[in-house]
Amino acid sequence: MALVLTTQANPGTADWVEGGTVDQITDPGDAGAIPVTESGSVALDTGPGVGAQTRTVAAPTFAGQTLAFFFQTDVGDCVITFGTALNVTGNTIATFANVRETLIVMGIYSTSVGALVWRPIHIDGPVLS
């Protein structure tokens, strides 16, 4: 489902938005794979259930692909394992522990790896390991 962006702030300012769409990607639930066929946002829910839940994300499909993750419902931690390292340290896991935590990643082509990889462009809360 596409969400339509509406006009925000004051015309002519840096945060002015004319419109556009953002694809909402459905959270697949515990042990599910988040699709990487397009850019979009995922509202993560760990309920119903008890304890930590997991998700996986394969390597990006194209350079510039962007995925935004938002922890919406916290019944237990949400642990996402990415198919590529997220940083030079080699971390592949993002653990969301609190509601409103956010992670945005972008697919880039890494010449040192010789493949598309995810790189975080915004982290607010989740721990990388």
46: left (phi over 0), alpha (psi -120 to 50) or beta: alpha
**SS3 letters for 45-59?**
ECCCCCCCEEEEECC
pLDDT, average across residues 2-10 = 45
Q: Is residue 23 part of a domain?
A: no
Q: What is the pTM of this model?
A: 0.83
Q: Is residue 42 part of a domain?
A: yes
Q: What is the pLDDT of residue 48?
A: 72
Q: Is residue 69 part of a domain?
A: yes
Q: Is residue 20 part of a domain?
A: no
Residue 64 belongs to domain with CATH number: 2.60.120.640
Structural domains of the chain, count: 1
Q: Is residue 9 part of a domain?
A: no
Q: What is the pLDDT of residue 1?
A: 45
Q: What is the pLDDT of residue 51?
A: 78
Domain limits for position 33? 29-128
Where residue 53 falls among pLDDT bands split at 50, 70, 90? Answer: very high
Tracing tokens 């997991």 back to the chain, one arrives at 54
Q: Is residue 21 part of a domain?
A: no
The per-residue pLDDT for range 64-109, each reduced to its tens digit, is 999 999 999 889 999 999 999 999 999 999 999 999 999 999 999 9
Where residue 14 falls among pLDDT bands split at 50, 70, 90? Answer: low
Q: What is the pLDDT of residue 22?
A: 64
Where residue 4 falls among pLDDT bands split at 50, 70, 90? Answer: very low
Q: Is residue 36 part of a domain?
A: yes
Q: Is residue 95 part of a domain?
A: yes
